[in-house]
Amino acid sequence: MAPSNDNSMISLRNVTKRFGNFAAVDAATFDIAAGEFFSLLGPSGCGKTTLLRMIGGFEQQTSGEILIDGEPMGTRPPNQRPTNMVFQSYAIFPHLDVAENIAYGLANRPVDKATIAKKVDMALEMMRLSGLGKRRTNQLSGGQRQRVALARAIVCEPKVLLLDEPLGALDKKLREEMQIELRQLQKSLGITFIFVTHDQEEALSLSDRIAVMARGKVLQIDSATALYERPNCREVAGFIGNMNFFDGRIAAIENGQAVIEIGPDQRVKVPVNGHAAAAGQSAILAIRPEKIDATMTAPAPGQNAIRARARASSYLGDRSLILADWRVDAAPISVSLQNRHSLAGSGNFPAQDQDLWLTWPVEAGVLLSE
């Protein structure tokens, strides 16, 4: 079976992996473009690492087909696929020095020693490890060990680099630095990266596109902006960043907007945006905390607005977080206010049990089906 897209480097067709009756990956079908930085994102146990390992040949799919650069992989082992993998544990050999670790993948290939030395030197320079070729790996920092693992993977010039949470063992500051380096490396090499992570911010900052997974299923594949601004279901909306949800019923459709009844005598509007919405349906309004404004004065008629009471607030320097109760039987609303815009510019934040109004533009909301 040929890929559906001539620019596809990876094509998955109904790829399923079962362990007994448990589907670790369930009918995954999508394409990854050549030169794309593509991330698999989801909580632990969602199937993202299993899917990555099937692409690399470390696991065999129960059913379905995997194609790389138009070639069916079938049961080819990892060393016969145009891929290389970087593991979270780095898998660096402690008895070899840095240069020997990097050259390891070339040892069983028909490459002469002079060419291997040249490739290793180029990889050392690219990964900012020049002068460290003879150093023992136990003398390296965490970031340097990560660069050795990357150098060993790219020196073999794979068409696809598979990365299984490669930054998970690094501290926050070093992790952020390596994220920048990893993105720059991918752009300079121009090869396809498939990156597994459970870190939302990491996926959003690095990726051209992201596949959000849960329970073995791919829920949505899209750009970082689209996933954040236009999630296709409650599970994606709740996993990517923070989100407020209002459960209700569609009372009417007016001028491309759904009027949602979220409580007694409480109606708000949200764009339909192509959603198959009709009056009488149950629906969910989703809205990000930073898109809600707080004010002490009643808003003008016609705005999306609800009366609430401050439950707690936290000052975080550039912004403050407010939790507000708006109904006894509903979850509190989370509001994130930039401090320079707090409470209509007053610079103050509500005290506990203080009444306030919460407002947001119609276009700020997202309509989700049950």
Tell me the average confidence (pLDDT) per consecutive run of 10 residues in the chain, 370 residues long.
65 97 97 97 95 97 97 94 87 87 82 87 88 88 85 90 85 83 90 95 94 97 96 93 93 92 91 86 94 87 89 82 89 82 56 87 88
Residue 268, domain extent? 242-368
Looking at the fold, whether 202 and 295 belong to one and the same domain comes out as no
Sheet containing 257-263: which strands, arranged edge to edge?
266-271, 257-263, 244-254, 282-287, 366-368
Cα 323 to Cα 242: distance, rounded to the nearest angstrom: 13
pLDDT of residue 4: 46
> How many domains does one find in the chain?
2
Q: What is the pTM of this model?
A: 0.88
For residue 196, give the CATH number of its domain.
3.40.50.300
- In degrees rounded to 5, what are phi and psi of residue 73? -85, -25
What pLDDT shows up at residue 339? Answer: 65
- Strand (E) or helix (H) holding 83: strand 83-86
Does residue 319 fall inside a structural domain? yes
Q: Does residue 302 share a domain with residue 156?
A: no
Same domain, 213 and 251: no
Q: Using the 3D structure, point to which of 238, 266, 299 is the last residue of a domain.
A: 238
According to the model, what pLDDT value does residue 340 have? Answer: 55
Domain boundary among the residues 200, 216, 238 is at 238
Position 105 scores a pLDDT of 79
Rounded CA separation 292/135 (Å):
54
Residues 170 and 210 in one domain: yes
Instruction: Report DSSP state, residue 68.
Output: E
Instruction: Give yes or no: residues 233 and 246 share one domain.
Output: no
Residue finishing a domain among 187, 212, 238: 238
Within this chain, do residues 176 and 303 fall inside the same structural domain, yes or no? no
**122 plus 19 within the same structural domain:** yes
pLDDT digits 0-9 by tens, 139-173:
888 888 888 888 888 888 899 999 998 887 677 88
CATH of the domain at 346: 2.40.50.100
Residue 217 lies in a domain: yes
Amino acid at 232: N
In angstroms, rounded to a whole number, what is the distance separating the alpha carbons of residues 36 and 214? 22
137 domain residue, yes or no = yes
Residue 149, strand partner residues? none
32 belongs to a structural domain: yes
Residues 6+ apart with CB under 8 A from 292: 244, 333, 335, 336, 358, 359, 360, 364
Give pLDDT, residue 345. Answer: 45
User: Of how many residues is the chain composed?
Assistant: 370
Judgement on whether residues 101 and 179 belong to the same structural domain of the protein: yes
Residue 1 lies in a domain: no
